[in-house]
Amino acid sequence: MNFHILTLFPEMVMQGLMTSITGRAVKQNKIGIEAVNIRDYTQDKHKKVDDYPYGGGAGMLMQAQPVYDAYRSVADQFPANAKKRVVYVTPQGTPFTQQMAQDFARQDDLILLCGHYEGIDERALESIVTDYVSIGDYVLTGGELPAMVVIDSVSRLVPGVLNNDESAQTESFSDGLLEYPQYTRPANYKGMEVPEVLLSGHHGNIEKWRHEKSLERTKKYRPDLYEKYMAENNNGR
């Protein structure tokens, strides 16, 4: 699977993504990541990519021409039947979920469009964007961090990106609950003991304890997920 990031700050995304697990996956050819500098596509002789919004208001907008042409430079290289999506990361988008990550992981190519300033001319968005995605109800200075979040979560679902140890973990959200607490050696750290049941070797009891802890945590920190889980799993209420 290939990720293409349309951005004014290619170094920012490449530095982050070429590190750690995503960087390893690129080196092993499990995924491809390229950053395309939108500024390279402006036809303005001063390399300008933004202008004032019609109708007035604060801030500047990215212009349609460089954004659209940067997109074309990427999309024109795909075969006609490529499975691709064009994601604009924006606080105005649909909240990003694990399910969306799974959907994106089935594509051949994912193009991520990063906005800056007050956003992007609507006509560029209407021409190219298939999915509007927000990573949460807060506003960042640009789309680079959200694009990195999306790429990180999607790439770890691509077969071969995680090794066995990394992928064997039972994960938060895979069953709709948050993950249970985990412990490693030593069994006593500053007087704090690892729960007895985890040392017992009794797999049935360990599973039961973990499930109870997952429920407890989910109820405390994510009452929304807890209610959904209880409704879906018919837990006698």
Binding site for ligand ADE (CB under 6 A): 89-91, 134-136, 138-140, 143, 146
- Give min distance, CB of 110 to ligand ADE, in A: 15
Tokens 């982050």 -> residue: 16
Nearer to ligand ADE, 10 or 146 (CB): 146
- Give min distance, CB of 140 to ligand ADE, in A: 4
- For residue 173, which of 197, 155, 157 has the smallest C-alpha distance? 157
Nearer to ligand ADE, 105 or 149 (CB): 149
- Give min distance, CB of 53 to ligand ADE, in A: 17
Nearer to ligand ADE, 2 or 134 (CB): 134
Whole-number Å distance between alpha carbons of 42 and 64: 10
- Give min distance, CB of 48 to ligand ADE, in A: 22
Return all residues near 217 (Cβ < 8 A) that are at least 6 apart. Answer: 177, 178, 179, 180, 181
Whole-number Å distance between alpha carbons of 141 and 154: 23
Nearer to ligand ADE, 1 or 114 (CB): 114
Nearer to ligand ADE, 98 or 134 (CB): 134
Whole-number Å distance between alpha carbons of 1 and 110: 8
- For residues 42-57, b (16+ Cβ closer than 10 Å) or e, as one string? beeeeeebbeeeeeee
- Give min distance, CB of 57 to ligand ADE, in A: 17
